[in-house]
Amino acid sequence: MTDQPFILGVNYWPQRTAMFMWREFDRATIDEDMAIINGLGLSCIRIPLLWEDFQPTPKNVPAAMLDRLVQLLEVADAKNLKVVVTLFAGHICGLTWLPPWMLLASVDRNQSPVFSSGKIRFNKIRNFYAETEIMERQIYFLGELGSAVSGHPALFSWDLGNEPSMWSNSPDNFAAELWLKAMTETLKEQDDRLPLTLSFHVSDLGRREGLAPRMASKYLDYLSINGMPQRVPWAEDPFSPVFPSFLGSVTGWLGKGPVMIQEFGLATETTLSVPRGYESVSKGEQLLVSEEDAALFAEDALLHLRRSHVMGAFWKSYGDYHPSIWEWPPLDKRTIERFSGLVRHDGTPKVAASVFKSMPISLESDGISSEWLDLTHEEYYQYPDQHLKRLYGRFREYCSLHRA
């Protein structure tokens, strides 16, 4: 996969249905959106399959949902777009989404909220690494899914999960590897030509045990990392345009393989009128920047990513969400999720959209070398957070001294 051109993509949810796309499926809207995405110069979209929608009960993968996925793939193919399909998409936009059978009927509260059966819940979550029964249900789901769509020309890759460590951790290395081996073998039996990946969270870069990059790379065709700016304890200025490139470089170094940046970008101040009471940003959230600043960030970040020779990068979201759904979870609590798109909520393109349209898809010949790395993997894993902070400083200094 290393000889492919740089992939420019975007994470996709419709602007008026967001994460409820599969329940309120509208092919006409998707067709319009895909035409716009193609017109912006993007070549790939990433779509999560909310687990509850596609496997509401252990032995039920609704034919209607599989048909909707096929329709989306057909639309994407007609617009010359490839599709990364994210499976077991538990953690999305700051909220965990799970079918009810993945929750324990317990009075003990889970620390993080879960959306299941139409409402926010705080039940403890069952551990899919530790329970053979759940693994069997996942394999059943993959079998049904593969029968419906394997071999479709629009498929780019399967993504086994979005930041699974945010809601479930394996009890040991053996359990994590057993799960990953079972999932990848099931998918490869259906179509061994389709690449496999898994999207890691920033915190997974400090993980030595369990589902960590260096173990996962044995089973995956490429690794993915979500690079949205956030409160990262080791990072000075995570809003720097070199931050996504640093994450990709470290992930590739740890996993010894190709890397995709699955999410990056900045949320912007809205230039359109919004309903009264929705103007402010929630406390503790990422600040909103101007559209011009977001465009400058996108241009510089993409340049560094192409110099880092990662496979490609996906902007956080296709479009800002329409005010009519701002009270839906997770948009009600996470203001930045409303404004992280490449187009405004009325469908007009933001300033950053022009950056993607004019961005070359070839890798930069003046690549970023590995001279900023000055330690072994074993040394790194002794104090990963300390080393990440130090290495990020070295990486930023390197990029400043070796501008393209």
Decide if pLDDT at 288 tops 80. Answer: yes
- What CATH number is given to the structural domain containing 355? 3.20.20.80
Residue 27: count of CB within 10 angstroms of its CB: 12
In a domain, 388, yes or no: no
Residue 95, classed as helix, strand or coil, is strand
Instruction: Look at residue 9 and tell me whether its pLDDT is greater than 90.
Output: yes
The CA-based diameter of the chain, rounded to the nearest angstrom, is 57
Evaluate whether residue 131 is within a structural domain: yes
Residue with tokens 């230039």: 271
Helix (H) or strand (E) holding 46: strand 44-48
More confident residue, 308 or 90: 308
Q: What is the pLDDT of residue 274?
A: 60
In a domain, 173, yes or no: yes
For residue 286, the model assigns a pLDDT of 62
The pLDDT > 70 percentage for the chain reads: 94
Asked, for residue 247, whether it belongs to a domain, the answer is: yes
Pairing of strands 91-92, 82-86: unpaired
In a domain, 98, yes or no: yes
Q: What is the pLDDT of residue 362?
A: 74
What share of the chain in percent tops pLDDT 90?
77
Number of domains in the chain: 1
Whether pLDDT at 72 is above 70: yes
Q: Is residue 149 part of a domain?
A: yes
How much is the pLDDT for 276? 54
Q: Is the pLDDT of residue 91 over 60?
A: yes
Residue 313 domain boundaries: 7-368
Q: Residue 383 domain-assigned?
A: no
| Model confidence at 99: pLDDT above 60 | yes
pLDDT at residue 280 tops 50: no
pTM higher than 0.85 for the full model?
Answer: yes
**pLDDT above 90 for 110:** no
Cis peptide before 330 (omega within 30 of 0): yes
- The per-residue pLDDT for 228 is 81
Is residue 385, in this structure, part of any structural domain at all? no
Length of the chain: 404
Can you read off the two tokens belonging to residue 396?
């930023």
For residue 213 the two structure tokens come to 């990059």
